[in-house]
Amino acid sequence: MVAIPRVVAPFVVSAPGKIILFGEHAVVYGKTAIAGSVDMRAYALVTPRKDGKTRLFLPDINVDVYFDSTQLARLSPSSLSHPCEIETQLTGIVAAEGPGRTAVLTFAYMYGSLFERGNMGGFTICVRSLLPVGSGLGSSAAFGVVLSTALLQLTGQLKQMGASAEDRKLINHWAYRGEQVAHGTPSGIDNAVATYGGFLAYTRGSESVSIHSTRALRVLITNTHVPKSTKALVAGVRTLRERHPEVVDTILDSIHSISTAAGSLFQSHEPCCSELQDIVRLNHGLLATLGVSHPSLERIREITAARGMASKLTGAGGGGCALTLIPIDVSGAAVDRVAQELAEVGFRCYQTVVGGAGVTITNHVDSESIDKWIGDMLTQHMSLSPSDRRDDKADDYSGIVSGFSILPDSAITALAPPSK
């Protein structure tokens, strides 16, 4: 652990979400899955305070927590056998239940691990996210990555502002520990994608392997709004495999072959869109055979197929989200028509790209430039005074933080790094 510098200039960290492209469910049995970063990001704005307190502000989930140095000094994560046990050190400090409890526990664990007790300066960290929670798009991992990056930057442990291989490895390590607080035994693929970006091949029990692709993919992500239980879906496949081991193992091997083929296509100079569409359809068909599709997912496939686009479930299935590959020659207007048709059925669509940048730090800003950016965005998108979240007595940057907290999604995307 190291001490936080007493004077901190404002900075912004952002990290992408993730999407599983190929290999769902088969990855549980040691097969390969392919995942990619989604350019729907989480953002953390870090500003200094002069009262010595630490504020965690998560307006998207109605969390606004202040810690004083005495409370944080009690934390001793190194004494825990597992990160999720951090809650035992926060009795009476963090509510036993309520919105954002896991996020607060994750923050407390990382803070207690990275900061030296007795040498703690004050700061505010405000996190916004464009990633829908519980949709399988890695919202908790993106939160963990921006959190670990911000705290490592504050403590001076990043040598090249998160850009070097050494920095990324450190960020990913602590983000994974944060995922352990949230999920117990995560695979590690979500935080790896949010850290490194691009495309990754993942096999359980092995290190993730970066896939060097020359281009990002245009995709449409459609949220069915159908709740799902990943645990139940995984258990269902396990039961089916116990009944018909040879048949199911053949299906899982075929899914592995699809992931391998996809990895090769991504690394080719110009990946053939028709081939990618073929394996999207094949992968979904095999997953449907395992019983993890849903009528809502099949409806999305039907609508997009009528427009010449291939779709598949992503993640555990059973509802959740679907992924649609947008061919290179399909116009934006055509995609808008498909999205409108899906919306009329009751789904919500997000047009984005997969395979873009990982975590980034924007550190070339001062209070005036951030304040101007906030003001410009507010003027452009709404006439709303950021006064309800102010904390002027303790935080010279309270107007900036409160302005950031009420910005619409379209304004926050102005901070996104350019796609690769």
Q: Which of 39, 60, 167, 190 is catalytic?
A: 190
Mark whether 190 is an active-site residue.
yes
Residue 37 pairs in a beta bridge with: 18
Q: Which of 139, 140, 187, 259 is catalytic?
A: 140
Mark whether 371 is an active-site residue.
no
| Active-site residue list | 140, 190
